[in-house]
Amino acid sequence: MNAFISGFSLGFSLILAIGAQNAFVLKQGIKKEHVFVICFVCALSDAILIFAGISGFGYLVEQFPTLQTVAKYGGFAFLFIYGLKSFYSAWSMSHELNPLDQPTTSLAKTILLVLAFTWLNPHVYLDTVILLGSVSTKFGALAPLFGFGAMTSSFVFFFSLGYGARILTPIFQKPISWKILEVLIGIVMLSLAFMLLGL
């Protein structure tokens, strides 16, 4: 049980920080758009990466740093473009236009965005594959239980964030709130993009 709790605690603490993925989940949760699918894809992706780390994939990534380099520059390009898109959205949004009343984004496009936020983020490999993978070795035969705890934390976190965001819905009835959110998301995206390059 100690292994499960350790995995849950460490996994939860690693995904708690506001990042590109979390900001996207929060935004879609407020809009109540494909929330279940978004939360499920995020949590499932984490589970796959955690499983890979515990299975020894972390060692492979350490041996081939090119994998991290590709992910780093791919992630920078994606976050940079999405950040600019958020700023443009905030600037062009009409004061009379409320995103809550707008047509929803297609499920396919939403899933592709979620996958990009997850798999193009080098930090997710460092956290789930390398860090959790290496820590799991300390638990020996109980490593799978540690991994299961970390996977559980991802499901708890993302579904709590996605569905908990609706509490903020009354605030976002006002279009100005969306402008502020888009600006904040833009700042987060660009900050993370430049952090990936070590700038």
pLDDT in tens, 159-190: 999 999 888 878 777 778 778 878 887 887 78
Pure H helices in 55-174: 57-63, 66-92, 107-119, 122-124, 132-136, 143-164
Tally of CB atoms within 10 A around 63:
9
The crossing angle, in degrees rounded to 10, of helices 107-119 and 20-31 is 160
Indicate whether 156 pLDDT > 70.
yes
Burial letters 113-129, b for 16+ CB under 10 A, else e: bbebbbbbbbbbbbbbb
What's the DSSP call for residue 106? P
pLDDT at residue 58 in the model:
56
Total Cβ atoms within 10 A of residue 198: 6
Q: Give the global pTM.
A: 0.70
Check whether 33 has a pLDDT greater than 50.
yes
